Structure 1
Amino acid sequence: MPTRRQFLKSSVFATTSLSLGSHSTLGASLVRLAQSSDTNAQTSVRLSSGWEFLRETLGGTWEVWHSQEVATWKAVEIPHCFNAYDGCDPDTPAYRGHGWYRTHIPVANPYPQGRTLLHFEGAGQTTTVYAGDSVVGQHIGGYDEFVFDITDAVQQLAASPQANAVSQKKQAQPSGIPVAVLCDNSRDLDRMPSDLSDFTLYGGLYRHINLVYVPAISLETVHIKTSLPTPKSSAEIEVEASLYNPTRDPGEVQLEIEIFDPKGTRIHIAKQNLASWTGTKTLTRFTAKTPQLWSPALPDLYTCHIRFKTAHGEYTAQESFGIRHTEWIDHGPFKLNGERLLLRGTHRHEDHAGYAAAMPDDLIEQEMHLIKEMGANFIRLAHYQQSRRVLDLCDRLGILVWEEIPWCRGGIGNEVFQEMGRRTLRNMISQHYNHPSILLWGLGNENDWPTEYPEVNQQKIRAYLTELRDLSHQLDPSRMTTIRRCDFARDIPDVYSPSIWAGWYSGTYPEYQKSLETQRERVKHLFHAEWGADSHAGRHSENPDKVLAEIATGRGTDERGLAYLHTGGEARVSRDGDWSETYACNLFDWHLKVQETLDWFAGSAQWVFKDFTTPLRVDNPVPRINQKGVITRDMQKKESYFVFQSYWSETPMAHIYGHTWPVRWGAPGEQKMVKVYSNCETAELFVNGVSAGVRHRNSQDFPAAGLRWMVPFTGGANKLRVIAKKGATMITDEIGFQYQTQTWSKPAKFVLTEAKRSGDKITVEATLLDAQGALCLDARNRVRFSAAGSGKLIDNLGTPSGSRVVEMANGRACISLQRTGTGQSVIAVESPGIQGALLIVPSI
């Protein structure tokens, strides 16, 4: 396979470009404004269907249209990620290379002499677009939006039958211009983020593509600047805009600007006729005397309508914005609109089971609502610019945002590498400027990572980080900058997050407060991003904290070197703990109770909301999955979700720990702990119908804020029920489980049984028994499932029930089989040193 540089030098890429190049700044404003047009003509078309895909290297665009004999293209819908399943394949690393897409696009621009644009909301990681056999543009970077003007290419193809013949095949072709897209996620040392990043660098057209029509002169960007000197003052609002006028038409522009408050009342109107301009121009400026302020509790949004008219056409564009006042107290808390707001946050990667980065819009919305329902008011978008839908939802739901460029690890690269950082920062700020949810612009992550290419030169990194900070302030003076974990540069950004992993990568979680207080004095504005623990969903423990006795204390709680590995280094919970949900809940519980008491603390963001893929963690219980999420990769809540909800949510809730714990164990009559996570004032527990007493919530009474009971269970079936009260509201929850008093010895054999059947989907469960047939409830053996016959395993989902290689959870593991015919299927489970098992699924 040729290298990327060899490919770039080939005749295919040497073709003269017909476009203006990668005008990424057009992506957020020009296209968004055109899409909000109220004209009768269709000005934007979502290009979702009619695409074909090929994951291999071709010799050039000629082969895109003449490869039917040697390549098998498959129909796909956009968004599409060509690592949708292999990002978590337990046996083979994710594919890094070329992915080709092709389609025919009918073009019907309603504007005389209008411009026709192809808008990519994001594609990975280097994208080259062709119309016919000609390059219309190339974009490097997987996360910012970009636009190519294909007007000239469309005209040339329409005028030249020979040019259009590139797409002719033996069979009939759909109408429209032939468009091919090459997505390349091959390793590239000059591209951000680093190949050493702890997340998969996905490839493909994994966000939406739009065909957009605009008049010959149109709005390119609209930025709405708001100034609120004090929380109680009037607000100054200024609307700035630039034009997209590639032919430099000197014609007149007629403008009508209307501003509506969150209730829909018009509060300002301005009309003017202007000669077309270059650069940025202020269109109107006015004062809102009693502004309605945006906040997580009341995410009020204003709306700006701009009626834009020239001799070439007219349309009305729309942008939303908000007004709020922010203040970071030196060595102290964060204030929003004059009131202290404890930032209660999490993190998000663009990743989902079966889709990878190509998440459908409805799943994105579902995920963001889960974050809000957990009680979060803040999110760090890791580690790159994310979909516009995420930002729109944060605006509407009331979630403050730290959004960052993809300078993740990577040391200090060459000038090509550094220019990419500047460009992605400009694009991110321009494209997301109007979102009131954005609080911080992130400049990088873990830029001190050891052994990075080409070097980790502290002075060079400091100089480059200073440059990025100054550029951010120049582009957007209203927002502060931030980075996480680059201690030798902690003084450069406005807000800094140190590395504190108390109770996971080093130290113990009771050391958390001391670590925070130590870091408080070292930086002007402290925020704690990234803390938590991995947990294997479905794995629970009767004694989760016993590992803490093995961990050295008083030596700090930062992540050191390659502490994420399962070997080497000092004793640490990440290596020596049980990865149970029980331990993770205790760690989260302790951190949250500490954060509630610190009146000087600005806030934190737990790592991470949802499990996601990574090429670096093949030895994890679910291979190649970072399992620090409070929900699984397919959005099933872990027990820890409810720990956060009990501290953060205002909506009354109660959750008995153990909904996914089918068998508890211990001696007959032994006192066992029952925990209830709730934000209610009181809770009463019933064990097998008998009250175990009422507990009163106290956030500082660890664990479970005092809502815990020590009770004996009955051998066999047990039922727990809680009644929690908050004011006049009563909340109930209940669970059932078995209590095993039989002890077990060394695991000896598997039993494989059918657990569930739904249509053609059959779920099987493997249990691990000792020689006497007792269930080994602490078994964590790594098992492998396989299937033969008329069925295939549903795997490579990156979930505990969707991986053919997985560690057991309390002596259990499961997977599903999809029937592919009416014949017999055989499912097997095996693990080194253990007698395997087979399950025959009979013919239909």
Structure 2
Amino acid sequence: MPRPLYVFLLLLCALTIESQSQKTQTSTTASSTAAAPRVEVSLRDGWRFKLGPESTTELQAEPDATWTTVSVPHTWNRVGYYKDAPASHINTAQNVVTTQGVGWYKLAFTPPANVAGMESFLQFDAASRIATVWLNGTLLGTHKGGFSRFRLDSTAALKPGQENRLTVKVDNTKPAPGSSTADVLPLTGDFFVYGGLYRPVSLVFTRKMHLDLMDYGSSGVYAKTTSLASGRAQVDVRARVRNDSEQSGTVMLRTLLIDFMGNVAAQQEQTVAVEPASVAESIASLAVPHPHLWQGVEDPYLYRLVVELSDKSGQLVDRISSPFGIRQVRFDPNEGLFLNGKHVTVHGVGYHQDREGKGWASEPADVAADEAMMREMGVTGIRLTHYQHGEPIHDLADRDGLVLWDEIPLVSQWTLGESLQPTEGLRENARQQLRELIAQNFNHPSVITWSIGNEIDFGNSIPAFVGNKTGAIPDPLPLLKELNQLAHELDPSRPTTLATCCEGIRYAPDTVVPITASVTDLSGANRYFGWYYGMPSDLGPHLDALHRTRPLQPMAVTEYGAGGAISLHSDNALGGPESRNRPQAEEYQSYIHEQNWSTLSSKPYLWGTFLWNSFDFGSTRRNEGNAQDINTKGIVTFDHKYRKDAYFFYKANWTATPTVHINSSLYTERAYRVTDVRVYSNARMTSLRINRRLVGVLVNCPERICVWKDVVLSPGTNNIVASGSFPNGDVEDKTQWHLSDAAAKTVNIDCGALVAGDSEGKHFGSDTFFEGGTAGAISGPAAWGRVPVPPKIAGTNKQEIAATYRSGSFTYRISVANGSHHVILTFVEPSLHRGDRIFDVFANGQKVITNLDVAAAAGGSLTAYQRDFEVKATDGMVIIQFRPSKGDAIVSAIEVQ
């Protein structure tokens, strides 16, 4: 079937199903003469909420005026904000709410009278992270875990046709020894755990005999493709039939697979007898001739799986209907992922569920917009991190052919305090959340692996967000092996996996980490070469070494990337030291992705790659880039609106969609007259024009990166236009850069700076025009996610300019107009003593400074010292060379006037 027609029919079918679903849904005030076999009542509106006391006794004393009216989904938290241009952002320093603890919800509702005699279940799609529920004063139960659907039997407490009062206590207290959440995963993580009823709440009514709703939040139906051969497929469907009556009963179980045109592709009928107050299981084996396979993004064909229960008279007792894709997956350790025998390239992203202004309380339309933005970029796989995500993203992935990595929230830590063993309560919670993850997502063809953890292999290289530990380090292997075995018992058809951080990474000479990757069938490596450690060029040899260590285990790269702030810019991504905290130039993020992808795309043994991350997300561990409490590694901003430059790098590489994108578009006030212009383009020919003047045309730019070197800007406005030639016409991208008169005449370089520091009266650019040397900062590296505190530097009012430097033996080649120029050099000795560092400076071949000892000349370290001289340019260039005779040469700033 042609894909456009298939998509149209899929949409038509979805609308029909939605229409039918809406007809069977009942509002909280609706009534009818006869109830359907299954009725679902949305409990969305009319809730009252307050951040409250711990106990119900204290709560009863709270006056109504202290409660606010809310709709569900709802969270009381608002986390993370950008510090620049606050008026343009939703979250600000004034409106964030990071309070973690107890919140209370109450709702008065009237269910329809005609559901009398039916079983009723309160369904919560998620409540973070512990929920305790009362209905009409009766305690229904408590659920521990903030990410999975759970149901509570409300039959005995519900009053059909009358006003009912529902009360829910939700607790997202930060786990600590002795706390209410000490045994509830996750114990920690580089993300914020929001509180509230942040996914939908509903009431579900069924007959006494029904498909099991108390099976870990599942549908009570489990379907899988067991064979594909000779133009036939076999689909086994296991159904759990529950009898909540006091008498034994018999039903007819009918299982159907219906194709997209509404035809029955396969069916089977069985008689199922169920004892009172018990569950019986039955397996139907459906033989499907000439199956239309679910072939990922190439052809995401979906059948509808229908399971019906009927009584002896043929009356329908219960029915569920859900999409189902026939497919089989194979992972090869050398060649990657195969879907129904065809190789599939997985271009993936990590995905967190929060967004600015809404936190975790997003709507299905929000998730759909996110997924559409990912697909526009060419994404074919999503790692759902670091916890179970909701039904909407799974349904969308099924529909559009994306493959999913599903994960439980066993993140970085599994004990608290100095304990070396997880508590039995925590082990049980991990098992429970794994059971829920698998039960609720079993039938989705998009899900290809179950992940049992993320980065629980830090060993003694524990980052600050996990917390300090002394003495022995807990061993994660017993818990991992237990979960791995359980996952295989629950679903033998899918492989297990986990993501590691630290194997083969030497953070320090005494680093010892547990090897956890060998526990599961597949492995995923979170690796940040060029960001947290090492150089981008280290990634390839590192991955090859891991592959050699376990040559029979399929491997993916599950995190890589860098932070990027759209308000911070660099003239040269190689101009500064590592940038994990501040500053985080958008250009450096692009550089890291370019370098990493160049390596990853050359490794055929990787079954998938998942960049980190699709969107900026909330994390109170972070103070970096231009943001507070936001992890800025997203390639789209926290409001899910602005696509950073790196987004277009992948779009140009991962799609055939005509793509032309000028980098650094938001770097509008330029520091230098001469600059490189970078454009991501998948056009065969790409041209660049500035103020209608053709700069040049490039053909088939390698890795879709077009670079025009040493482009000269004009004073005032520069209209930049990049144009790509495609079969269906040209595609353009435009931006405007401004060059001040001062910047056109002078060159002010903040040496060693990735992003230029602030300076009174002068506009400095970041470090560029250099050859050789190493960038450094006097303040040194910062702690995890925190800003370094620079020392006070004497003798200057340009603290940020003086605090960075370039050292070694190096040269600056600075393009200028011919004629005489006045050069001012600023030096600061970071730490050495007199006589430890001696060097000469040459300008256009002439020695202008001899045997400079900065410490001696300045009178000690951390004191600014300046020298100036005249130089004449005759060929449009000032060349300044720094040549050491002892130690390394050093310079903090260069001004050419």
- TM score, norm. by length of structure 2: 0.71
Matched-pair contact (CA < 8 Å) for 1:342–1:601? no
Structure-2 residue corresponding to 1:835: none
1:249 CA drift (Å): 3.8
State the one-letter code of the partner of 1:288.
Answer: P
Inter-CA distance 545–777: structure 2 relative to 1 (3 Å threshold): closer
Write the letter of the residue equivalent to 1:631.
V
Once the two structures are superposed, residues 549-593 of structure 1 have per-residue CA deviations (whole angstroms, 9 ceiling, x without a partner) of x5xxxxxxxxxxxxxxxxxxxxx4315x73111111111112222
Aligned equivalent of 1:400: 403
**CA 1:154/1:297 → structure 2, altered by over 3 Å: closer, same or farther?**
same
Partner of 1:763: none
Distance in 1 between residues matched to 2:309 and 2:729, nearest whole Å: 53
Which of residues 656, 661, 665 is equivalent to 2:662? Answer: 656
| Gap change, CA 1:729 and 1:541, over 3 Å in 2 | same
Conserved 8 A contact 1:37-1:316: no
SS at match of 2:456: coil
2:43 matched to 1:67?
no
Residues 571 and 766 of structure 2 are in contact (CA less than 8 Å); yes or no, is this contact kept in structure 1? no
User: Do the aligned partners of 1:89 and 1:624 also contact (CA within 8 Å) in 2?
Assistant: no
Task: Give the RMSD, CA atoms, in angstroms.
Answer: 3.1
> Helix, strand or coil for the counterpart of 2:272?
strand
The equivalent residue for 2:440 is: 431
Q: 1: CA distance between counterparts of 2:285 and 2:343? A: 33
> Partner residue of 2:266?
268
Q: Tell me the secondary structure at the aligned position of residue 147 of structure 1.
A: strand
Q: Describe the shift of the 1:290–1:74 C-alpha distance in structure 2 as closer, same or farther (beyond 3 A).
A: closer
Distance 1:408 1:321, change over 3 A: same
Q: Does 1:305 align with 2:306?
A: yes
**Matching of residue 472 in structure 1 with residue 487 in structure 2:** yes
Give the direction of change, closer, same or farther, for the CA distance of 1:456–1:214 in structure 2 (3 Å limit): farther
Q: Give the aligned partner of residue 164 of structure 2.
A: 177
Count of residues paired in the alignment:
680
Q: For residues 225 and 179 of structure 1, do their structure 2 counterparts lie closer, same or farther at Cα, with a shift above 3 Å needed? A: same
- Higher relative contact order (Cα pairs below 8 Å, separated by 6+ residues): 1
C-alpha contact (below 8 Å) 2:676/2:707 kept by paired residues:
no
2:331 paired residue among 322, 328, 331:
328
- Taking the aligned partners of 1:619 and 1:605, their CA distance within structure 2 comes to 23
User: C-alpha separation between the residues in 2 aligned to 1:776 and 1:214?
Assistant: 70
**1:148 corresponding residue in structure 2:** 152
Write the letter of the residue equivalent to 1:490. Answer: A
- The yes-or-no answer on 1:55 pairing with 2:48 is no
SS at 2:157 equivalent? helix
1: CA distance, partners of 2:368 / 2:253 = 35
Corresponding position of 2:40: 44
| Correspondence 1:113-512 to 2 at 5 A | 113-155=117-159, 176-189=163-176, 190-220=182-212, 221-229=220-228, 234-247=232-245, 249-276=247-274, 278-310=279-311, 314-412=317-415, 413-449=422-458, 450=462, 460-485=475-500, 487=503, 488-512=515-539
Deviations 1:202-257, CA, capped at 9 Å, x for gaps: 11000000111111111121111112456x75321111100232335412212333
Partner of 1:531: 560
Higher strand proportion (structure 1 or 2): 2
Give the 3-state SS of the residue equivalent to 2:393 in structure 1. helix
State the 1:325 CA deviation.
Answer: 2.5
**Given that residues 384 and 404 in structure 2 are in contact (C-alpha distance below 8 angstroms), is that contact kept between their aligned partners in structure 1?**
yes
2:71 maps to amino acid: E
For the Cα contact (< 8 Å) 1:255–1:309, is it kept in 2? yes
Give the equivalent residue in structure 2 for 1:740. Answer: 740
Find the aligned partners of 2:606 and 2:706 in 1 and give their Cα distance. Answer: 24
Question: Any idea what the Cα deviations from partners look like across 1:378-425, whole Å, max 9, x if unmatched?
Answer: 111110001111111111122111111111122352111011111111
Rounded to whole Å, the distance in 2 between the matches of 1:459 and 1:201 is 24
What does the per-residue CA deviation read over 1:587-640, in whole Å, with 9 as the maximum and x for residues that have no partner? Answer: 111222222233333221011111111121135531111000011110121121
Residues 456 and 679 of structure 1, relative CA distance in 2, 3 Å threshold: farther
Shift of 1:690: 1.9
- What residue is the counterpart of 1:589 in the other structure? 594
**Shift in Å, 1:453:** 9.1
Secondary structure of 2:623's aligned partner = coil
Separation in 1 of the partners of 2:360 and 2:351? 12
What is the CA–CA distance in structure 1 between the aligned matches of 2:706 and 2:555, rounded to whole Å? 30
1:228 and 1:373 map into 2 onto residues whose CA distance is: 33
Identify which of 634, 638, 658 aligns with 2:644.
Answer: 638
Q: Which runs of 5 or more structure 1 residues have no equivalent in the other structure?
A: 1-32, 159-174, 551-571, 748-766, 780-809, 812-844
Query: What amino acid sits opposite 2:165 in the alignment?
Result: P
Amino acid at match of 1:67: E
| Alpha-carbon distance in 2 for matches of 1:148, 1:402 | 28
The answer to whether the 8 A contact 2:686-2:698 is kept is yes
Can you list the C-alpha shifts for 1:527-564, whole angstroms capped at 9, x where unaligned?
101110001122221112123xx5xxxxxxxxxxxxxx
SS in 2 for 1:546: coil
Q: Is the 8 A contact 1:527 1:602 kept in 2?
A: yes
Taking the aligned partners of 2:23 and 2:412, their CA distance within structure 1 comes to 38
The one-letter code sitting in structure 2 at the alignment partner of 1:282 is: I
Please state whether the residue corresponding to 1:78 is helix, strand or coil: coil
Q: 1:68 to 1:213 in 2, by over 3 A?
A: same
Alpha carbons 2:668, 2:736 under 8 Å: kept = yes
Separation in 1, partners of 2:237, 2:599: 43
Amino acid at match of 1:246: D
Aligned-partner Cα distance in 2 for 1:608–1:652? 24
Distance 1:205 1:406 in 2: 18
Q: 1:268 to 1:66 in 2, by over 3 A?
A: same
Asked whether the 8 Å contact 2:383–2:610 carries over to 1, the reply is yes
Corresponding residue of 1:516: 543
Residue 555 of structure 1 corresponds to which residue in structure 2? none
- Supply the distance in 2 between the matched residues of 1:460 and 1:109 (Cα, whole angstroms): 56
Q: Is the 8 A contact 2:529 2:538 kept in 1?
A: yes
Q: Quick one: which of 69, 92, 99 aligns to 1:95? A: 99
Shift in CA distance, 375/259, structure 1 to aligned 2, threshold 3 Å: same
Structure 2 unmatched ranges of 5 or more: 1-19, 26-33, 82-90, 177-181, 213-219, 416-421, 504-514, 750-755, 768-799, 802-897
The higher radius of gyration belongs to 2
Alignment map for 1:545-560 (pairs within 5 Å): 545-547=574-576
- Residue identity opposite 1:739 in structure 2: L
8 A Cα contact 1:192 1:408, kept in partner: no
On the 8 A contact 1:682/1:724 being kept in 2, the answer is: yes
Query: C-alpha separation between the residues in 2 aligned to 1:697 and 1:502?
Result: 28
* 1:79 and 2:94 aligned: no
SS in 1 for 2:589: helix
TM normalised by structure 1 equals 0.75
What is the alpha-carbon distance in structure 2 between the residues aligned to residue 522 and residue 769 of structure 1?
Answer: 48
